[in-house]
C-alpha cells in the first residue's frame, strides 16, 4: 500500500528526517506536534498556550488532508510535567465533542526545544 505524505505550511515544518503526517489506507498518522507557531516560529509561554498551539498545528495538518478534528480516533499527549494534566484537559476539551477520541497521556523527561507538551494523532478518513 503506497504511503502519501501530508505537508502544509500552516503547521511547523519537520525539524528532522520525518514527515508532518503520512496517510496509509484510510488512516492519517501525524508526527508529534510541538507548540511552534508556523508563521512566527515562536513558542508561546505556559502550558495552556502551548497546548492550544500544538492542537492548532494538528488541526492545520488535518485540514490539508481534507479532515477535521472529528476524524481523530486516537491521540497521544507527551507532557513534561503531569501536574499540567488538568490544564491540558481544559484546552483539549475545547477542540472536541463526544464521542471523544481515545487518548494516552504520558510524562516524559524532555521534549524537543524544551517545550512543555507534544501531541500526536491518528485520524480516520471514514
93: its cell numbers: 476539551
Whether pTM exceeds 0.75 = yes
Q: Given this model, what pLDDT does residue 1 score?
A: 79
Range of the domain at 113: 4-124
Write out pLDDT tens, residues 15-68. 889 999 999 999 999 999 999 999 999 999 999 999 999 999 999 999 999 999
Write out pLDDT tens, residues 71-120. 999 999 999 999 999 999 999 999 999 999 999 999 999 999 999 999 99
Beta bridge partners of 10: none
**Is residue 38 packed enough to be buried (19+ CB in 10 Å), middle (13-18) or exposed (0-12)?**
middle
What angle do helix axes 85-93 and 47-64 make, rounded to 10 degrees?
A: 40
3-state secondary structure of 6: strand
The count of domains in the chain is: 1
We report the CATH number of the domain holding residue 62 as: 3.30.1330.40
Amino acid at each position: 500500500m503506497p504511503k502519501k505524505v501530508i505537508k502544509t505550511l500552516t503547521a511547523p515544518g519537520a525539524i528532522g528526517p520525518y514527515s508532518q503526517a503520512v496517510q496509509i489506507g484510510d488512516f492519517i498518522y501525524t508526527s508529534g506536534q510541538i507548540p511552534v507557531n508556523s508563521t512566527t516560529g515562536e513558542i508561546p509561554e505556559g502550558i495552556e498556550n502551548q497546548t492550544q498551539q500544538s492542537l492548532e498545528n494538528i488541526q492545520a495538518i488535518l485540514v490539508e488532508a481534507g479532515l477535521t478534528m472529528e476524524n481523530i480516533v486516537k491521540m497521544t499527549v507527551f507532557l513534561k510535567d503531569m501536574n499540567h494534566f488538568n490544564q491540558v484537559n481544559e484546552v483539549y476539551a475545547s477542540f472536541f465533542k463526544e464521542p471523544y477520541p481515545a487518548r494516552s497521556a504520558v510524562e516524559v523527561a524532555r521534549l524537543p526545544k524544551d517545550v512543555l507538551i507534544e501531541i500526536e494523532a491518528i485520524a480516520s478518513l471514514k
